[in-house]
Amino acid sequence: MSEVLEKLEQCPIHELSPMHPDLLRCPAALNKRLRDEAPVFQDPSSGIYFISRFDDVVAMSQDSKTFSSVMGGATTRAVESSEPEVVEIMAQGYADVPTMLTQDPPLQRRYRKFVDGVFAPSALNALEPMIDSISHELIDRIEDKGECEFLSEFGVPLPLTVIASQIGAPIEDLPKLRRWTEAFIDNLSQQVDLEGRIKTAKSIVEFQHYFISRLEERRDKPQDDILSKIVNASIEGDLPLNNGECLSMLNQILVAGNETTGAALTQGILLLIDNPDQYEMIKADPSPQMIANFVEEVLRVSSPSANMYRRTTRDVEMHGVSIPEDSICFARFASANQDESQFQDALKFDITRDNLKTHVAFGKGVHHCLGAALARREMNGGCKVLFQRLENFRLQPNDEAPEFMANALLHGLERLNIAFDVRR
């Protein structure tokens, strides 16, 4: 246990910063203290208000008029950095434009409608054979080794391949898409130094120019993919989306379409290793319903979208705390998913819960995750194939303990080195 986590148990809560890397990696103990002692807590170092209880997080998510998603440059990110080196690099690209996740209704709904059909039930049903095929192909690559680094060899490639096919990016460009995803993740982390911000800025501009070229291609020769839908869309039948709007939407679809699902799949395997009684239940009954229950509990416990920014549009009073207009708040979805008032014995991984789907891993309200149904299909399909072909998952002997990344918004493992047996 790190010194910061030890201190967490011993000192007044106001002496800790929730943005400390150790507390971002292992937030459960802090989240409990926040729920119990300070459900509305202002971080003295960043000034951010942390909202931690289930009911409050849901209320925030359903009140976009008070808790806006348009941040207006209020967060510290590489694309808003004032360092001359970063500014010079970003000037070679396109300005960040609020669209789906970073916009409020009614504009948010306008942007979102352009890609809603991609995630409709009929479209997702058509993807199931692809999800099965990719899952089998990934296992073909690792089964003879009896071990793998699960995140990079299964957790990431499955959803990344699917979302790349939906966007309209060629399979040979998957390494680029993953590198750009990692750059956007670093951009959100609030944990990178100047060298990291420069590297991130270069990757973001590279992403932008890559997709601008492909958007131009789709403008001339549309195909059945997201690129074509976006570049040929228009607001209320008149105004076409500009390049910044198109890039913003692609950024959000790319990152949400692979990072969070990959993180949840990977932590799901670790949860099985750490909870052998639950694994035995799945081995005894690997039915679609049991796998679906497993997926929902993994989503609750892992909460890959751990926090989300909101900005107050008026003065707000919560639990006796006055939050001024134009303040930055964190809706702590991971904390809400561990709230004992909603989930009995909340820190326990239990795939037999009777309220499995009441979690907020995909958010609530107008910003409920656009790709939630796709993520569920990928996780259910991927786990089905995994449990058909592999068994007895375990950590590789003598390997370092799994560690989570330090990120202000996202929560996921840095890596997961496992061993396994092939089902005969």
What is the DSSP annotation of 163-191?
A: HHHHHT--GGGHHHHHHHHHHHHHHHHS-
The pLDDT value given to residue 186: 86
Contact 342, 333 (CB under 8 A): no
Whose tokens are 């694309």? That residue is: 79
Q: What is the pLDDT of residue 61?
A: 95
pLDDT bin (cut points 50, 70, 90) of residue 73 is low
Q: How many CB atoms lie within 10 A of CB 412?
A: 24
Residue 394, strand partner residues: 419
The token duo for 185 is: 């993740």
Environment class of 398 (CB within 10 Å of its CB; exposed 0-12, middle 13-18, buried 19+) = exposed
213: alpha, beta or left, given left = phi > 0 and alpha = psi -120 to 50?
Answer: alpha
pLDDT score of 330: 94
Q: What is the mean pLDDT of residues 107-111?
A: 86
pLDDT bin (cut points 50, 70, 90) of residue 196 is confident
Cβ count near 30 (within 10 Å)? 25
Burial of 399 (0-12, 13-18, 19+ CB in 10 A): middle
Q: How many other C-beta atoms are found inside a 10 Å radius of the C-beta of residue 221?
A: 8
pLDDT of residue 380: 97
What pTM does this model have?
A: 0.93
- Tell me the pLDDT band of 211, cut-offs 50, 70 and 90: very high
Q: What is the mean pLDDT of the chain?
A: 91
Q: Which CATH number applies to 69-305+361-422?
A: 1.10.630.10
Determine which of 5-14, 109-118, 306-315 has the lowest per-residue pLDDT on average.
5-14
User: Scanning the structure block, which residue is given the tokens 């789907």?
Assistant: 357
Q: What was the pLDDT predicted at 76?
A: 42
At position 252, the amino acid (one-letter code) is: Q
Q: Is 371 exposed, middle or buried (0-12, 13-18, 19+ CB in 10 A)?
A: buried
